[in-house]
Homo-oligomer: A and B are copies of this chain.
């Protein structure tokens, strides 16, 4: 069984050293107390509500930055950490990035391909699909927030063998009717169910320049049911056999992927 943990944190806007210390502390805490896969929010190094490119510049790091090496060094045992960060590209551009690390260092990086709202003012969209990374716990795909609202993305990584989709996210609080779940949950529930993969969404907290967040951190099982939600507790945790996601059958006649009709899809 693999223990997946999401920690719903608040970064401090434009405070890279302070955010770095929080990341180090949480990685050490969680990986030393049983988290096999720890997921932190989008842009947890920098905060989100930027007003200028200078603010991004002051926080952006490359994946080769010594800070990332410190995060890796803080990982206890064989655990995996996924987190979102503001990336400084070799091309001088900024990306809304994510990385997957183990104790040896950075195993994979990703640049958000679907940018939300004013992110477009500060970040360049990624031009590569999400990575699907072999780990001792199973195949882990990484995408960021708005990315997974395009059903083609969960589908792609599931077809490539992902058992778990790790989604660092910052969900701005949006309208929902009384009694309804966050709309992003419906999208995650559907993406989990139609692909039979586990999806772990790590949202943030902490009002920033007046922006409130959904605080909707949750882990969905491979049938689309919410398995754990942070609620008021800032933490979702779920223990699962990720290899169970590989059986895509419903019955002797139906298989989720075998039943696809790609020749009829655009």
A residues lining the B interface (CB < 8 Å)? 113-118, 120, 125, 127-129, 146, 149-153, 155-156, 159-160, 176-177, 180, 183, 186-187, 189-191, 193-194, 223-225, 250-251, 253-254, 259-262, 264-266
Contacts and interface: CB of A to CB of B under 8 A. Distances in A.
A117 B180 CA distance: 32
Contacts of A159: 266
B190 A150 contact: no
30 contacts: A115-B259, A116-B253, A117-B250, A117-B253, A117-B254, A120-B253, A128-B264, A129-B264, A146-B254, A149-B194, A150-B194, A150-B259, A150-B260, A150-B265, A151-B151, A151-B152, A152-B265, A152-B266, A153-B264, A156-B265, A160-B266, A176-B225, A177-B225, A183-B223, A186-B186, A186-B190, A186-B224, A187-B193, A187-B194, A190-B191
Contacts of A183: 193, 223-224
